[in-house]
Amino acid sequence: MARRIPLRARIGLVLILAAAAIYGGYEWWMATRTWVPLDMPVSVAPGHIRSPEFKINLDAGFWIFVEVETKPDPQGVACLIGYRDDYCRKNAVSELRASWTLSDSGRVVAQGSTEKYPAVRGGMVTKARGLGDFVVPPGKHYVLDVDILDGGRRFDAGHPRLWIAQSYYWQFEDLRTPLLLFAALLAQIGAVLLAIALAEAISRKREEQRERVRLTWPGPLPAGSVFESASAEASYVAKDIPPRRRSTLPRSAWLGLALLLFGAISFVVVRHWYRTRIFTPVDLPVSLAAGHIRAEPFRINLRATYQVWIETGEWWMLPQPCQPNSVLQTKWELFREGKVVGQYDDATGYFSDFEGEPGVYDLDFQVVSDASCLNQTHPRLRVHTDSSDYEFYAGYSQWVGAICFATGVSLIILTVVGRLRWRAAEAVNLNLSSSVGSSSVESTSVGSSSAGQNFQWAQRLPLRRPISGLPAFGLAGGMIFAILAMLMMLITANPMNSKGLWVHLLKPGQGAAKSDEWTEPLIVRLKDMGPGNRASLYVNSKPVAWESLDRELKQELARRKDWVVYVGGDDRLPWNNVTDVIDVARKYHAKVFLITNSAP
């Protein structure tokens, strides 16, 4: 049965099965990993907690933390996880302190405490206190023991839970889209090959049904076949070999034309769609003196989450009392068609968002507290949504359109070449038919006894060389190989041997972005101390010794969802001081942004 399936169809099936295996295997692997091997309710009162046995089938780092709902006492929960302010002191709220050990079949494999791992995670609904992290091999008999040294039973109303979660889940999750697009590309190529093979099989079957007599007749002629004259032979040929009726445009050409049009239209449409999306509807300079800021009506044409915030420049260069998180208090209302569709009023933050729908909006922004000391950083009011996902999908969609366009052009070229070859072969058939007619007239003079002899027409023209042109399968195979080669080059574009330090640059005037509403961006500032002296270090405006930089960055990164480090320095700073900071940040696989000076 497999021999009857053309090679092109078999390759198409293999590509489709490979696409299903690649993406299906990834989804199966993701679904069967222990991303959260432990999730159990606990009490944060002092005491001992022992978990049931759990398994880990992922060779990666894990984070241990206690998560508490903020609804019973938002400020108290903030104190519990490590934020200290006057409320904590007045109400005698202690910080959660704990130690833990992780054992495998009774053998301790990891241990830690909150003293060595002061990590927190903030949110509006829940907040979490990190207890530590560990890396262990896969196993089925892990047990976690936690000793709560200091806490508060009254926070049990927030339904605290003890979690062990994978630290870098997002890195595995980021592979989903590239693998899906790659699998879709393989499936598309396989479907095209199957469609071509099916069209050729249908065409070949119809051709065989139309063909009655071949130019070379094997064996003896059928009984009763008598060649009387040239006119009789001509009538015989005209009777038994009807002229071929070919459609004006073969199916392969129609398929190629459809792919060509689909590729061209999809490329142009996706490109036009992406360029007309409004990712930053509001971006205007403002003054941070107390008062209202009324933005002009703006339009949104995306269903996305938009952030509203005040963007400041190098605020970390200002004196300590003038910091955005301490002096800037804002609130705003968002209107659409005269109705309030969003609002924000929080005296402790300056970052908020709303779910945008296509339409025209009005924003009434108010600076509650006088923060005019920040005006020297050239603040701007921005309404923005992240465009990276849209850019990614648009880019891959345009690639798919370009591939469809190239495939369609190739099919049309193959059809034209095949039509030219068919016409050349038809001309040869006509020449052979005329020579056969003259020879049959001569054979009638020999006698009717020759009608029953073994009669064959010899091949008079030389056979075409086996390799006399580029076959259709070779062209399709070459295209597939080129596509796979380009994908592999994109995947392996990062050289194995280091040739420098990969960093990102912020545009002039663009400030550091917050990873979440509760955490400030992690900024390392270097100050030039003169020739021959090593630069002074400041981590979020706090002086840090060089020998303590590794520990300080590790602690600060543990508090954040996104591991991003912003590095800035004076103009005359020795470059090796900057590279030392970058090396420490890259050690923890953090993304490094260099803060550029403002445009002149």
Q: What is the largest CA-CA distance in the chain?
A: 129
Q: 341: domain CATH number?
A: 2.60.120.380
- Asked if 374 and 315 count as a contact pair (C-beta separation under 8 A), the reply is yes
Ranges of the chain whose pLDDT falls below 70: 1-3, 84-85, 118-119, 122-124, 210-248, 314-320, 323, 325-326, 346-352, 426-503, 507-510, 514-518, 531-532, 561, 596-600
Q: How many helices (H) and strands (E) does the chain have?
A: 12, 25
- What's the token pair of residue 236? 């015989």
Residue 585 lies in a domain: yes
Last residue of a domain, one of 364, 386, 408: 386
Residue 230 lies in a domain: no
Distances 471 to 272, 315, 417, 474 between C-alpha atoms, Å: 37, 66, 10, 5
| Locus of tokens 């396989």 | 190
Distance CA(33)–CA(369), nearest Å, equals 49
Query: Which segments of 276-344 does DSSP mark as H helices, in order?
Result: 324-327
Residue 384, SS3 per DSSP: strand
169-175, long-range: CB < 8 A, 24+ apart: 169/35, 172/30, 172/33, 173/30, 175/26
Q: 137: domain CATH number?
A: 2.60.120.790
User: What tens digit of pLDDT does each residue of 253-284 get?
Assistant: 788 888 889 888 988 999 899 999 999 999 88
User: What tens digit of pLDDT does each residue of 576-587 get?
Assistant: 788 888 888 887
Note the pLDDT of residue 320: 61
pTM above 0.85, yes or no: no
Last residue of a domain, one of 115, 142, 168: 168
Residue 495 lies in a domain: no
Q: Count up the domains in the chain and report the number.
A: 3
Residue 291 lies in a domain: yes
Residue 70 lies in a domain: yes
Statement to judge: residues 286 and 164 lie in one domain? no
Contacts of 105 (CB under 8 A, 6+ apart): 139, 141
Distance CA(332)–CA(343), nearest Å, equals 6
Residues facing 101 on adjacent strands: 111, 145
Other C-beta atoms lying within 10 Å of the C-beta of residue 543: 10
Residue 20 lies in a domain: no
Q: Which residues span the domain enclosing 141?
A: 38-168
Residue 306, SS3 per DSSP: strand
Residue 80 lies in a domain: yes
Distance CA(550)–CA(566), nearest Å, equals 15
- Asked if 162 and 38 count as a contact pair (C-beta separation under 8 A), the reply is yes
Q: 580: domain CATH number?
A: 3.30.420.270
Last residue of a domain, one of 336, 363, 386: 386
- Asked if 188 and 263 count as a contact pair (C-beta separation under 8 A), the reply is no
User: What tens digit of pLDDT does each residue of 452-487 get?
Assistant: 444 444 455 555 554 444 455 555 556 666 665 666
Q: Give the residue from 529, 513, 509 showing the smallest Cα distance to 577.
A: 529
- What's the token pair of residue 20? 């299903």
Distance CA(563)–CA(524), nearest Å, equals 13
Residue 373 lies in a domain: yes
> Strands 591-594, 522-527: parallel, antiparallel or unpaired by DSSP?
unpaired
Note the pLDDT of residue 89: 79
Distance CA(326)–CA(308), nearest Å, equals 18
Distance CA(160)–CA(128), nearest Å, equals 9
